[in-house]
Amino acid sequence: MPTNKEVRVRFAPSPTGDLHVGNIRTALFDWAYARHTGGKFIFRIEDTDRERVTDEYIAAALDTLRWLGLQWDEGPEVGGPYGPYMQSQRLDIYAQWAQKFLDQGDAYYCYCSSEELEARREAQRAANVAPGYDGKCRSISPDELATFKAEGRKPVVRMRMPEGQTTFTDLIRGEVSFDHNFVPDFVLVRGDGSPLYTLAVAVDDVMMKVSHVLRGEDLLSSTPRQIRVYQAMGLTEDQYPEFAHLPFVMGQDNAKLSKRNGEVSIAWYRDAGYLPEAICNYLALLGWSPGDDREDVSREEIAQLFTVERVHSSPARFDMKKLEAINGDKIRALDLEDFLIRVLPFLQRDGIISGTPAELEVVRQALPLIQERIATLAEVTQMVKFLFVENFTVDADSAPKIADEQSQAVLSAAFDSLSALSEWNHDAIEAALRATLIEGLGLKPRIAFGGVRIAITGSHISPPLFESMELLGRERSLARVKASIA
Ligand code: GLU
């Protein structure tokens, strides 16, 4: 459906936990669509459920979006013409609309207790009819009303769903229809006066002039209810936002990814050393394609190329290995200073450095050695810690590997050869060790250098050995080889 409305797209999470892969994929597509069309990206916090939403989760949501570079044009902290953008600050607005719907006869008070509703649902199930509100309180006799009031019942406000069906064109799924036999009258306001999602989301989308609702497929079935609210608000069909429901993101096991799964929260990936640009790149490819086979897209390219037509309608599968590979590529693409800035928080967090200029210089020199060898920033700690430990000892699981007679003999020969070196640089070190261990003793490189690597770095995983020894310096290198000889 062509539209000449100004494009206004919103990301509207309910921060009842950390944002996870599925939420952020939605946020990214919302942002990309707004950027691609030159429209506005609105960030709205749906925090009416104050028992489950916390201030920490809200702060974390803002932080996550900012970290990913998905800057919003309107929303918390930046404001905008249709604020406030926190639903908890808009309760009066929802109450006014609910009252209007009551006055218009679109909505009605419902006094049914949850026990009564449950009993009737049970009966519906037994009779094999679609369960849902049966419309009992659409008309209440004055006597009944008096009784309910005398009992002190607090009514909910319920929207009247007319007979018929709701049909709309989803930009991804095409024409979608819902028969109202399966969309019973629904609650807009709870007995305590608090609004439900369906009321708040629809009112806000209208009042914030949202033109496009791109969101997860799990919300598809709430669309006919939202459209019903638009109608009660007096909108005509051409004034509804366009809908595009994004396909599910599945886990590798084919189960739906969920925000309760801490392993898929974006905060977890950040702590594990994933780059924001890698996450955006990977998530962009999760259900969308740039139009060719490329797997490397920058945030700017995503914004440039994003169209809803290229969003797939089938579920996408989250593949941790692929994310890791993309992350490794993005790490390799960093220039040295940028790489340094990104790894410092990890090294400080892990207690490897405190951040003195001298330490930074050592890290700066070590980084080119490891840039090709890591897939996440957190791996830097393991790679460089040998350069910073005071009382160095070989890891408990690596120590036995150099305790046997042959390894000890190799280490002794290496020590003698290194002690005789007049210059200390990686070429000289390599030449000396090759001459002694490979040409002299006839050892294979793995045997020759494996033990020295463990003696020097404490582990069999390390940056390239000779460069590592140069960086560590003559004195400390010789001391470590010596210490490894029993
Ligand atoms: N607040 C809803 C949620 O987090 C999404 C609202 C919407 O996109 O319509 O599930």
∠ CA(136), CA(137), CA(140), 5° rounding?
A: 110
Same domain, 189 and 130: yes
Q: Is 204 in the pocket of ligand 1 (CB under 6 A)?
A: no
Same domain, 97 and 229: yes
Ligand 1 atom nearest 216 alpha carbon: 8
Residue 348 maps to which CATH number? 1.10.8
Residue 441 maps to which CATH number? 1.10.10.350
CA distances from 105 to 111, 232, 365 (A): 16, 9, 74
Tens-place pLDDT, residues 212-265: 999 999 999 999 999 999 999 999 999 999 999 999 888 777 777 654 443 568
Give the integer Cα–Cα distance in Å for 442 and 436.
Answer: 9
- Rounded to the nearest angstrom, the distance between the alpha carbon of 200 and the centre of ligand 1 is 10
Tell me which residue of 299, 462, 316, 298 sits closest to 379, measured CA to CA. Answer: 462
Site to substitute for ligand 1 among 19, 46, 249, most atoms within 8 A of C-beta: 46
Domain that holds residue 408: 399-484
Total domains, the chain: 3
Structural domain contains residue 70: no
Same domain, 206 and 125: yes
Same domain, 418 and 365: no
Helix or strand or coil: residue 188? strand
Structural domain contains residue 447: yes
User: What tokens does 350 get?
Assistant: 């892990």
Give the integer Cα–Cα distance in Å for 294 and 409.
Answer: 51
Site to substitute for ligand 1 among 10, 25, 197, most atoms within 8 A of C-beta: 197
Structural domain contains residue 127: yes
Give the integer Cα–Cα distance in Å for 123 and 129.
Answer: 9
Q: Is 30 in the pocket of ligand 1 (CB under 6 A)?
A: no
Same domain, 380 and 403: no
Structural domain contains residue 49: no
Same domain, 348 and 426: no
Structural domain contains residue 193: yes
Residues involved in catalysis: 259
Q: Is 20 in the pocket of ligand 1 (CB under 6 A)?
A: no
Same domain, 476 and 360: no
Structural domain contains residue 380: yes
Q: What is the pLDDT of residue 255?
A: 72
Q: What is the pLDDT of residue 249?
A: 87
Q: Is 220 in the pocket of ligand 1 (CB under 6 A)?
A: no
Rounded to a whole number of angstroms, the distance between the first and last alpha carbons of the chain is 79
Tell me which residue of 7, 35, 15, 25 sits closest to 76, measured CA to CA. Answer: 15
What residues of the chain score a pLDDT lower than 50? 1-3, 259-262
Q: What is the pLDDT of residue 258?
A: 58
Of 246, 266, 287, the last residue of a domain is: 246
- Rounded to two decimals, what is the model's pTM? 0.91
Burial of 420 (0-12, 13-18, 19+ CB in 10 A): exposed
Of 223, 246, 269, the last residue of a domain is: 246
Protein residue closest via CA to atom 6 of ligand 1: 12
Q: What is the pLDDT of residue 391?
A: 81
Same domain, 104 and 186: yes
Q: Is 46 in the pocket of ligand 1 (CB under 6 A)?
A: yes
Average pLDDT, the chain: 94
Of 384, 412, 441, the last residue of a domain is: 384
Structural domain contains residue 50: no
Give 303-323 as a DSSP string.
HHH--GGGB-SSPEE--HHHH
Ligand 1 atom nearest 46 alpha carbon: 1
Structural domain contains residue 375: yes
Tell me which residue of 482, 480, 273, 474 sits closest to 383, measured CA to CA. Answer: 273
The residue type found at 237 is E
User: What tokens does 392 get?
Assistant: 């160095």
Ligand 1 atom nearest 226 alpha carbon: 9
